[in-house]
C-alpha cells in the first residue's frame, strides 16, 4: 500500500515525493504519462550530444532563499543571467525595453532622465490598469506597445492583449537604465548538469517508485494508496464537468546547426515577423562547448499539450468552480501549474509544493493527536478495497 499516489513527475510532483519520502518516511508512487521525469523542465542530450530543453527554454530564477537552498541539495549551479534581444524594425534591440533599446531604435543618445521623460511623453493615461494592453501603453505608449508587445502577444495567446489579464505583460518590466537582464531576481542560475539530473536526485530514494508511460487512470483501480497528489490539468481530473479550461500550447521545432554559434543572444524574440515567437540557442544557457549548436523555435498553438493557463477573468471564474470541487474532494491534493491553473514559474511551483508538504504534515500531526473524524477515511477505505489482493 502506498501512502501517496503522485500524478506527474514535474516540479510539483517530484518535490512532494522527495519531502514525503525523506522527511515523513512515506511510501510514494509517482506516475507520469510521459516517458520521462522532470515534466516541462525535462532536458536531454540530443543525437549530436548537445543538452537541449525538450519543452522550450527553462531559466531558473527566484527571490526565494528557501527555494534556492532547497534545490541546491539536489544540484550544483552554473551562474547564469538571462538576456534577450528583440527583432524590431530590422534591428536587434534589448528586451525588456531599456535605455539602450530606445537609443538604438530611434538613433538617439538619451540618458536615464531623458528616457524617463520620453516614456512620460508617450505614455497613455489609463484610469485603471486592467489588461495586458493597459500595462504597456500606460508605461511606454502605443508605438512601442505595437512594436514589442501587441503582435507577440497575439501570436503567443491567440488573442489581443486587451483581452488578457494585466499579469501577462506585467511579467516583462520597462527600464530607464541599461540593465539588459531579463530577470532581476536575487538567485539566477542553471542546474550545472541539467534539470533532469536534478530530478533524478530528487526522486532517488528507496521510498519512491516511479512509473513512466502511465496515465493514472490506468492504474488507479489496481494500485492501493491512501492519498493522491494531482499535478495534471484540474478540468481533466473532473472529466470537464464545467467545460474545458483554456490552455495555450506550443509546437517546438528543434534544429542542430553545423556552426558553433548562431544567435546574437541566448534568445531572440520576434514580435512582428514569422509565425514563431522566439528562437533559443541552448549552449548559451548551459555553457556547453560543442562545435555544433542546437536551437529551438516556438510556434504557438491552440491545440496540443497544455502548456500555459490563459490568465483572464472568465477563465479564473471557471477555474474557481473547479477549485471548489477540488477543495471538496477528500484525500486528493491539487498542486502545480496545471492543477491550480496558475501561470507559475518553476520556483513558484516549488514554493507551492513545499507549502503543501507543510500543510500535509501539520494535518497528519493533527490527526495523530485527535480521534478519527467519522467519514474522513471514506476514500481511503474505498481505495483499499480496490486492492486486487483484497477484493
Q: Using CB under 6 A, list all residues that contact ligand UDP.
A: 86, 95, 148-149, 152-153, 156, 168-169, 171-172, 269, 271
Note whether 75 and 201 are within 8 A (CB): yes
Sequence-separated contacts (24+) of 361-366 with Cβ below 8 Å: 361/23, 361/24, 364/24
Question: What DSSP string runs through 50-106?
Answer: -EEETTS---EEES-HHHHHHHHTT--EEE---BEEEEETTEEEEES--HHHHHHHH
Measured from the Cβ of residue 77, the count of other Cβ atoms closer than 10 Å reads 16
Distance CA 391, CA 386 (A): 7
Among ligand FAD, ligand UDP, none, partner that 171 touches (CB below 5 to 8 angstroms by kind)? ligand UDP
Among ligand UDP, ligand FAD, none, partner that 300 touches (CB below 5 to 8 angstroms by kind)? none
Binding-site member from 27, 33, 142, 201 for ligand FAD (CB under 6 A): 33
Set of cell numbers at residue 212? 513512466
181: helix, strand or coil: strand
Q: Which is nearer to ligand FAD, 118 or 199 (CB)?
A: 199
Binding-site member from 58, 175, 283, 333 for ligand FAD (CB under 6 A): 58
Looking at residue 148, the DSSP 8-state letter turns out to be: I
Which residues are paired to 189 by β-bridges? 60, 79
Q: Which is nearer to ligand FAD, 145 or 216 (CB)?
A: 216
Distance CA 260, CA 242 (A): 51
Torsion angle defined by CA atoms of residues 204, 57, 40 and 358, in that order, rounded to the nearest 10 degrees: 60
Task: Tell which positions 328-387 bind ligand FAD, by CB under 6 A.
Answer: 336-338, 344-347, 349
- Minimum distance, C-beta of residue 248 to ligand UDP, in the bound complex (Å): 9
Mark residues 276-305: x for contact with ligand FAD by CB under 6 A, - for none. ------------------------------
Measured from the Cβ of residue 201, the count of other Cβ atoms closer than 10 Å reads 17
Among ligand FAD, ligand UDP, none, partner that 67 touches (CB below 5 to 8 angstroms by kind)? none
Region from 50-58, 146-154, 257-265, 321-329 binding ligand FAD, contact rule CB under 6 A? 50-58
Using rule CB under 6 A, residue 224 touches ligand FAD = no
- Minimum distance, C-beta of residue 138 to ligand FAD, in the bound complex (Å): 26
Using rule CB under 6 A, residue 152 touches ligand FAD = no
Q: Indicate the pairing of strand 247-257 with strand 308-309.
A: antiparallel
Q: Which is nearer to ligand FAD, 145 or 187 (CB)?
A: 187
6: helix, strand or coil: strand
Which residue's beta carbon is nearest to the bound ligand FAD? 39
Using rule CB under 6 A, residue 188 touches ligand FAD = no
Q: Which is nearer to ligand UDP, 248 or 283 (CB)?
A: 248
Binding-site member from 5, 7, 95, 356 for ligand FAD (CB under 6 A): 7
Which residues are paired to 310 by β-bridges? none
Number of residues that bind ligand FAD (CB under 6 A): 33
Q: Which is nearer to ligand FAD, 58 or 139 (CB)?
A: 58
Task: Tell which positions 121-140 bind ligand FAD, by CB under 6 A.
Answer: none
Q: Which is nearer to ligand UDP, 183 or 216 (CB)?
A: 183
Buried b (16+ CB within 10 A) or exposed e, 237-267: beeeebeebbbbebebebebeeeeebbebbb
| Residues within the interface to ligand FAD (CB under 6 A) | 7-13, 31-34, 39-41, 55-59, 215-216, 231-232, 250, 307, 336-338, 344-347, 349
Amino acid at each position: 500500500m502506498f501512502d501517496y499516489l503522485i500524478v506527474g513527475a514535474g516540479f510539483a510532483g517530484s518535490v512532494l515525493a522527495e519531502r514525503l519520502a525523506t522527511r515523513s518516511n512515506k511510501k510514494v508512487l509517482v506516475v507520469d504519462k510521459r516517458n520521462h521525469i522532470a515534466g516541462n523542465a525535462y532536458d536531454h542530450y540530443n543525437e549530436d550530444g548537445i543538452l537541449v530543453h525538450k519543452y522550450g527554454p527553462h531559466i531558473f530564477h527566484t527571490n526565494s532563499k528557501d527555494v534556492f537552498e532547497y534545490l541546491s541539495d539536489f544540484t550544483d549551479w552554473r551562474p547564469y543571467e538571462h538576456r534577450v534581444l528583440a527583432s524590431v524594425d530590422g534591428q536587434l534591440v534589448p528586451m525588456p525595453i531599456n535605455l539602450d533599446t530606445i537609443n538604438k531604435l530611434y538613433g538617439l543618445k538619451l540618458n536615464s532622465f531623458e528616457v524617463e521623460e520620453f516614456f512620460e511623453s508617450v505614455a497613455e493615461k489609463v484610469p485603471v490598469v486592467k489588461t495586458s494592453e493597459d500595462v504597456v501603453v500606460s508605461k511606454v505608449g502605443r508605438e512601442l506597445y505595437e512594436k514589442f508587445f501587441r503582435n507577440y502577444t497575439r501570436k503567443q495567446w491567440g488573442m489581443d492583449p486587451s483581452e488578457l489579464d494585466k499579469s501577462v505583460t506585467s511579467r516583462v518590466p520597462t527600464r530607464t537604465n541599461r540593465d539588459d537582464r531579463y530577470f532581476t531576481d536575487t538567485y539566477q542560475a542553471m542546474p550545472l548538469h541539467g534539470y533532469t539530473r536534478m530530478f533524478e536526485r530528487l526522486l532517488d530514494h528507496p521510498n519512491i517508485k516511479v512509473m513512466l508511460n502511465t496515465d493514472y487512470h490506468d492504474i488507479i483501480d489496481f494500485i492501493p494508496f491512501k492519498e493522491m497528489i494531482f499535478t495534471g490539468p484540474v478540468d481533466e481530473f473532473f472529466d470537464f464537468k464545467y467545460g474545458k479550461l483554456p490552455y495555450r500550447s506550443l509546437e517546438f521545432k528543434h534544429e542542430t546547426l553545423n556552426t558553433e554559434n548562431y544567435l546574437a543572444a541566448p534568445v531572440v524574440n520576434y514580435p512582428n515577423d514569422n509565425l514563431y515567437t522566439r528562437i533559443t540557442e541552448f549552449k548559451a544557457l548551459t555553457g556547453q562547448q560543442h562545435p555544433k549548436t542546437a536551437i529551438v523555435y516556438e510556434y504557438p498553438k491552440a491545440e496540443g499539450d497544455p502548456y500555459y493557463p490563459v490568465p483572464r477573468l472568465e477563465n479564473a471564474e471557471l477555474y474557481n468552480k473547479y477549485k471548489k470541487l477540488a477543495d471538496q474532494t477528500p484525500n486528493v491534493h491539487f498542486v502545480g501549474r496545471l492543477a491550480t491553473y496558475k501561470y507559475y514559474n518553476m520556483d513558484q511551483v516549488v514554493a507551492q509544493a513545499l507549502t503543501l508538504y507543510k500543510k500535509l504534515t501539520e494535518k497528519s500531526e493533527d490527526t495523530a493527536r485527535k480521534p478519527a473524524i467519522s467519514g474522513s477515511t471514506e476514500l481511503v477505505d474505498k481505495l483499499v478495497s480496490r486492492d486486487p489482493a483484497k477484493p
